[in-house]
Structures are given as structure tokens and as C-alpha cells.
A and B are shown apart, each in its own frame.
Chain A
Amino acid sequence: MKTIRFLLNGKEASIEVEDNETLLCALRERLGITSVKEGCGIGECGTCTVLVDDEPHYSCLTLASKANGRDIKTVEYLSSSGVLHPLQEAFIRSGAVQCGYCTPAMLLSAYSLLLRNANPDAHDIKEAISGNLCRCTGYIQIEEAIKNAAEICKCNGQD
């Protein structure tokens, strides 16, 4: 066991983790953040995506100890100001949510994209979510939502 300290959704967090523990397990089991989902456990489906220093990472393949000193964001960060992020609004409005199991991870991949690229084109959006599988939606309304949210973020000057 060792103690790790990191920023979790903008707040200091400190937990004890096993050497072989994944970040996915630490977030779900030790911190109760069940918005981070396990879909395959081997880095193929992307439902466990979290942001590490604003870059999407598969938390099932990331050792919890590697989070030490890093900035970890889960979907809770997006509405931490008390209002929905434009991406969340757009996901609801565009019908981008069906079963919802991939949704938190999709939102994080999209959020990371908009941080890097405020004017993503259709291909940029497809590429940004290409590591996140969705079996329900065929991705189209998700892509529409991200496009719509990008427009709104630009108008608001929001990240």
C-alpha cells in the first residue's frame, strides 16, 4: 500500500492504494466515483476514460499510483460549478444518450477535445471519440452534440 495525492475534480484527494491497483478500481471502490465505468478491463472499450492532466486515459490500464501528483477529472467535474456544462446540455438535447453506460466517458473525451481544439470539424470529433465504444447510438447524435456544444462554448468563451 502507498499513499497517493492528486487533484480530483479540482479538489485535493489522498488515498492509500495497492501497488497493482488500477485507477479505475481506486476511483470506484475507494472514492465511490461510479461514473467511471468498467466495460472490458483491457483498454478496448473506453467506458473507463478519465482525464489525466486533461488528456483522456483508460483508467483500467492506468495504475492508481501513476495518479500521484496529477490532475484527475471525471464527469462530475463538468457540472462542478452547479450548472450543466454545454456538452452535457447538448448530449441531453441531441439525443446522444441512450443506455448511458458510455456517456460519462464520451463526455470526457469530448471535453478534452474542446480544450485542445475549439473549432473541431467532423473528422476531429470522430477521431476524438474513436476510443470510446457505444453500442446504442451509432455515434451520430453524440457527434452532433459535441459540434453543438463547441459552438456554444465558443460563444460563451468557456472551456
Chain B
Amino acid sequence: MFIGQDITRVDALDKVLGKAAFAHDLTKNNMLFACVVRSSRPHAVLKRIDVSAARALEGVVKIISHEDIPGENLFGAIKKDQPFLAAGRVRYKGEAILIVVAATEETARRASELVRIEYEDLENISDPFLSIQSPVLIHDGGNLLSHRKVIKGDAAKAFESSDVIVENTYSTTWIDHAYMETEAGLGYLDDRGRMVVASSTQNIHYKMKEISRLLAIPPEEVRVIQATTGGGFGGKLDVTVEGYLALAVWHTKRPVFMRYTREESLLAQTKRHPLYIVYKTGARKDGSLTAVEVNIVGDTGPYNSYGETVCLRAAVHATGPYEVPNVLVNSRMFYTNNPVAGAMRGFGVPQLALAHESQLDEIAGLIGMDPLDIRMKNALKRGSLTATSQVLNHSAGLLETLKAIEPAWRERRKERPGSGFGLGCMYYGIGNTGISNPSSCYLTLTPEGRVEMHSGVCDIGQGSDTVLLQILCDALGMEEMGIDLVRGDTDTSYDAGSTSASRQTYISGMAVCDAAQKLKKYLKEQGYYDGKPLKDICRDAADKGVPIFEGYFDPPTTAPDPETSQGAPYATYAFATHMTEVDVDEVTGVCKAVKVHAAHDVGRAINVSNVKGQIYGGVAMGIGLALMEEFIPGKSESFDNYYLPTSMDMPEVEAMIVEDREPTGPFGAKGVGEPALIPQAAAVVNAIYDATGIRMRQLPCDIERLKLALEKDKENKR
């Protein structure tokens, strides 16, 4: 048995030895270095670009503009609306304009500073509410990227008969992924002249297709390899260095390396979407929710990236993990000239959790109900209808996570002044929202008597390589880990889809199970389970030319109704409850998270240590979101003024695993990557309220914001 065991991660040894080759470490003989010239203006027409001084610098090999692009100058995972290199107009500060390729990195950077660009400024649409009204269009189709609605029952009528109604506005800001390894990669032509790009990425097959379109060559002529990747969290889903490298290699025919500086990563790469949320909740005296009405306005910056995804996912998760009979959600995502907001751990759901969890606590306060009890009363469970009227037939363990937290909650004691406790719950649909998002893989037998797993899944540190091997071993009934992993290379794997939406354990895990079933049938026929050594079977197979064993899984979902979003957008949901204890220093405004209990229904923990690692890491990111992280365009330039949680900021965390098995998942597993983060900020703000009586509705509750709120509160009381 490998499932449920703490199997050592397959990548850990190389990493503790310092041998793992990250994208930053890649090198090739005769390689050149590239860097990008970026816009210093948020919205402008490019009047004139003078590259003469840059070109004259010794060591500069090539300067590439949009005119040098052989194929299509647009990319985007959802909609192709973002240019690789600006063509006549820039729409955000940091947008790529030129690529400079030089003999050394220093020369490339020096040359990029010598490029003179004349801009004619256009109106800077710095706010989604400005975007709504502005006659200036960021794209020809208008400034509204997406509008999604969730309509269930009759919310307006239900509010009329509600005993208590609470309505408030919440807002969140840009968050940087801040993976420790910035974007980087190496491009080169292989012996056959094919384009190869190795990079720090979350999705090799998607990037292969984008490069193919960019260069107007067939996808088979492009090979993308995932280097060891120093974190992703959604930020390496979009094309980062890959397109620039492909162009630089295309024009120079030489290997080219590039990496973003930290400042560049902060300036140019995607961020978490800031959302403005107006939230109205109705309930009866007994605590049962009657209706919610939510208006969400989001800022996606000038390009879609994952803006549509966030718009829809935020909408369908807006009620939180509760039975709400009447729902009206309007979710709108606008283009602005702010940083491009894209995918980040949770896709809009952590922002909504702040709102629905604060609302629920306020309702509980008004009717004199305990925050845990009101959650238990309304919790989604087996047989419940979600906000999109999806029936939860199985694996809905929210109540179990609440029960896991219950003893700690009931026994909580405020032992110091400024101490407070808060709860946060969440549910999260595993996989993409209401669209096909399959994974595929294949298995082969080697002449050495090993099974080879060919996986296109990008392990970005979360541990999917190890988990998929565990699944395969158990699916084959192997007693030893007799499997070789061939991974992260479009030449040797099928498309497994992106490492995003907490989908790899569930979806790719099922693809592995599918392939394993076919191999198992074959091994059975060959007598493996009667004792014939695998080595003999493999040797026979090599002689006979045995086919490969392919696996495929696409989670069963239905497309959301275009008007009401009703339907079954996800095949399964993860559930969680966090309880956070904080200490607020009312003199300084410093809030410290002291202790967290985090209970997660993961279906089945394939690797307990990995699951806990995700929970701890998610809590850390949630603490950052709640208390300190805020990307301010033009001000947050480096880690000097973008603050991340350190070891000293971390609370004690008790991770509790609940396993309500998912029958459609691999050995009952669902996912945990994003769920681990989602309810934490909500639990923190509820704890701050418990400690101070102050409702913080804007994140982060950093020292300045909290101090101001405390002072204002003191004045009001005076």
C-alpha cells in the first residue's frame, strides 16, 4: 500500500543536495541572454522607439519588436487578447515592448536602458469604476470583460420575509504570487532544428501551443520542458519568458537564457484580482439563511489572462458552503490600466470567503447564535443543493470539518486582552468551471523490467509527481515502487492540462488509474499476479512490441446556464473549516495570528505529509492575504516594500484531515492546494472582530489600516 502513507517525495533528495536544476540554473554553450524593454506608462501610444544607442552597444546581438514576430502576436489561456510585444500601444506599466538579446545578461540589461521611447499618454483608467463610465476603450469591444450571473429562486422576495438582513461592502487588493524563483528559462534549437524551451512553468502543453502560434510553426516543431520550478501558485500559468525566448532563438539561432529580476516579476507578472464585493445576506431568527444578493466588481487589468475564470468562479462560490435557497449574484470583470490580474491560488474564492464569512458572523451576532452553530445549521451536506442547484450526492464533508474544530472552538478562552477567535469555512470546486478539462497520460514497460509513467503534469512543488506514483503503484497492486517517472516534457508525455484549480490529484490521478487498469489487465494475462517476474514480462513485451497503455479522465460537469449559471460546474468539491486565534495590540495596531486549527475534507489523503504541507503553506499565504500583503502599483517594487510572512509571522497550526471519500476520484481523493488558503483570511478578520469589536472589511488588515480603525473606533465611542 502506498496510498495514505508518507512516501518520501521523489524530488526531495536532489533538492536537499542542491542538485535540482531550476530554470535559473539552466545553461548551454554559446548561449545569449535576453531581457525585455517594458513600458514606463500605464496607457499610451508608442510614438517613436529609438534603439540606435542600444544597438550600438558592444555585445548586443538583436533587438526584436512586434514587427519581427512571424506568427500571431497575441496570447492568452482563455482569450487571445494580450500581445507578446506591444504593437503601437501599451495598456499597463510594465508591458513588454522589445526584446534585447546580447552576449551577456549585463549587456542586455544595459542596452535595454538605452532604448528611448516616446509616448503619447492616454487616459489612465486606474479603477474598474472609472472603467465602467469611461469613453476611453481599452479594447475595441469595450471595457467590460465579463458579466456572470447566478440566479436561483427569488432573492428579492426572500429578503422581504427575512427576520434579519445584513449588507456590507468588502474589498481586496492585488497580491503577488512571490514564488521564490522568478520567471526564467532557456531556449534553443535541437539537433533537428526544432524549437525547445525549458522553463519554470505550470503547463507545458499550453505553452507549446502558444509558441507554435507565435512562430507560425506546427506544435510538433515545438518542445517545451518543465525545469524544476520554484513555485507557481497560478503565476506561471500565463506565458512568461517562453514567448520571448522562442522569438530570441528564432532570430539568433543560438541558445538564449533569460530570467526576470524580482523587480520585473513584481512589475510585469500577473497578480491576484482585486474584488469589490457588495454583499447582502438574509436569515431567519433560527439562523437559517434565506437569501443572498452579491454584486462583485473586479479589476483584471488590461488583459483577460484568467479574468473570466475568476469572474465566474467567484460568482458560483459567492454563497460560501451553505444551503441558500435564494441567490442573486452579479459578477462583473472590467479592463483597466492596472497590472494584469490572473490566476492565483483560489481564483477569486478567497476574496468571496472574506465576505460570506464576515456576513455569517454578523448574522449570528444579531440573532445571538454561536458562529459555529450557524455554520453547522446552514452547512452543505450530502443531498444539499448548491447555489447553482447542483445536488451534492457524495463527498461533502463540511460538517465533519466543523466537528473536527468543535472541541477547540467550545473550549476557547480569551486569556489575554486583545485576544480573539474566528472561524472561516469554504468550499471549492475541483477543476475548471463547467468546461472540459481532461488529463491524459501513458504507461510503458521498459526492457529493464520497469513500468514507466509518462506524465505531462507540472509538479511545481506541491508534490504531484510523488502522489501520481503512489496512485499508480496501488492501482497496479505493486509492492515496491518499481516505476520510473518520465515527466514534464511535451516530447514524452500527453497533455495533462494545467497545474491549477487543485485539479492534478483528482483529474490526473484518475487518468493514471485509467491507464493502470489497462496495464493491469495486460499484466494479469501475462501472469504477473501469479508470480511471473515483471522483468520477464517486460522482456517478452519488448520482443512483441506491446502498445502503450493510455489513460484519460475528464471530470463530468455541465456548462453553467448563460443567464443563471445553474448547473453542475464541478464534479466534486473540497470543504474546509479554519479557526484562528489572534492577538491584537490595540496600542500599535499589530495583529498576530497565534494559533490555527485547519480541518480539510480532502476526500482521501494520498500523502499525509504532502497534504499537511499544503495546509501549512495555504495558512501562511492566508495570513499574508489577511495581514500584510498588498501590491500597490508604482510603489511595491521589491521585497523591500512587498511584505511576505516569515517564520516569525506564522501561528502554530494544527492540520486536521477529514476524509469523506469521493467515489469518482482516485482512491477517494479530491484536492487541497487552493482550499488550504481560502478560509484563512476570513477566519483572521472574524478573530479581529472578536478581539476588538471592529469589522475589517478591506484587506489587508495591516498595521496602518488596523491602527486607523482602532483610533476611529475609540473616537466614535468617546
Interface residues, chain A, with chain B CB atoms under 8 Å away: 33-42, 44-45, 47, 74-76, 79, 84, 88, 91-95, 97-104, 107, 125-127, 129-143
Q: Does B44 contact A (CB under 8 A)?
A: no
Q: How far is the CA of A61 from the CA of B228 in the complex (A)?
A: 26
User: Are the CB atoms of B617 and A138 closer together than 8 Å?
Assistant: yes
For A137, what are the chain B residues with a Cβ–Cβ distance below 8 Å? 613, 616-617, 620
Neighbouring A residues of B610 by C-beta, 8 Å: 95
A135 contacts B18, C-beta separation under 8 Å: no
- In the complex where A88-B16, A140-B653 touch, is A42 in contact with B461 (Cβ < 8 A)? no
Q: Give which listed residue, A102, A103, A141, contacts B609 with CB less than 8 A.
A: A141
With A92-B16, A138-B620 known to touch, is A99 a contact of B638 (CB < 8 Å)? Answer: no
A127's nearest neighbour on chain B, judged by CB, is B648
With both chains docked as a complex, state the minimum distance between the C-beta of B642 and any C-beta of chain A, in angstroms.
Answer: 9
CB of B638 within 8 A of CB of A139, answer no
Q: Which of A75, A93, A138 contacts B18 (CB 8 A)?
A: A75
What does DSSP make chain A's interface, helix, strand, loop or mixed? Answer: loop
In the bound complex, CA of A74 to CA of B19 (Å): 12
- List of A residues within 8 angstroms of B461 by Cβ: 98-100, 136
Pairwise interchain contact A76-B620, C-beta atoms closer than 8 A: no
Which among B19, B180, B639 is the interface contact of A99 at CB below 8 angstroms?
Answer: B180
Contacts of B229 in A (CB 8 A): 99
Q: Is the CB of B261 within 8 A of A41?
A: yes
Question: Closest A-chain residue to B461, C-beta based?
Answer: A99
Tell me the interface secondary structure of chain B in the complex. loop
Name the one of A74, A98, A103 contacting B617, with C-beta atoms under 8 angstroms: A98
CB < 8 Å neighbour of A103 from B16, B233, B261: B16
Identity of the chain A residue whose Cβ is nearest the Cβ of B615 in the assembled complex: A138
B residues near A, CB below 8 A?
A: 6, 8-9, 11-22, 24-25, 177-182, 228-231, 233, 261-262, 460-463, 609-610, 612-613, 616-621, 638-640, 644-648, 650, 653
Q: Does the CB pair B647–A141 fall under 8 Å?
A: no
CB pair A42–B638 under 8 Å, yes or no, is yes
**Contact between A138 and B619 (Cβ–Cβ < 8 Å)?**
yes
Which chain B residues border A34 with CB–CB below 8 Å? Answer: 18, 21-22, 24-25
Whether B230 and A101, one on each chain, are in contact in the complex, defined by CB atoms closer than 8 angstroms, is yes
B179 and A99 contacting across the interface, CB-CB below 8 Å: yes
Do B616 and A141 have beta carbons less than 8 Å apart? yes
Contacts of A104 in B (CB 8 A): 16, 18
Contacts of B13 in A (CB 8 A): 92
Give Cα distance in the complex from A123 to B620, angstroms.
17
A100 to B618, CA, bound (A): 16
With the chains together, A126 CA to B21 CA distance in Å? 28
Q: With the chains together, A139 CA to B647 CA distance in Å? A: 6
Q: How far is the CB of A84 from chain B (nearest CB, A)?
A: 7
The smallest beta-carbon distance between A85 and chain B, in angstroms, is 9
Task: Find chain B residues with CB under 8 A from A98 CB.
Answer: 231, 461-463, 613, 617
Of the A-B pairs whose beta carbons lie under 8 Å apart in the complex, a sample of 13, sorted by A's number, is A34-B25, A36-B18, A37-B180, A40-B638, A41-B262, A47-B180, A92-B9, A133-B180, A136-B462, A138-B618, A139-B616, A140-B616, A143-B647
| Known contacts A42-B638, A93-B8, A98-B463; A141 and B180 CB within 8 A of each other | no
Inter-chain CA distance A118–B672, complex, in Å, is: 36
Contact A97/B24 with A107-B16, A139-B650 known, Cβ cut-off 8 Å: no
Please give, as numbers and ranges, the residues of chain B lying within 8 Å of A37 by CB-CB distance: 22, 24, 180-181, 230
Cα–Cα, bound, A44→B178 (Å):
12
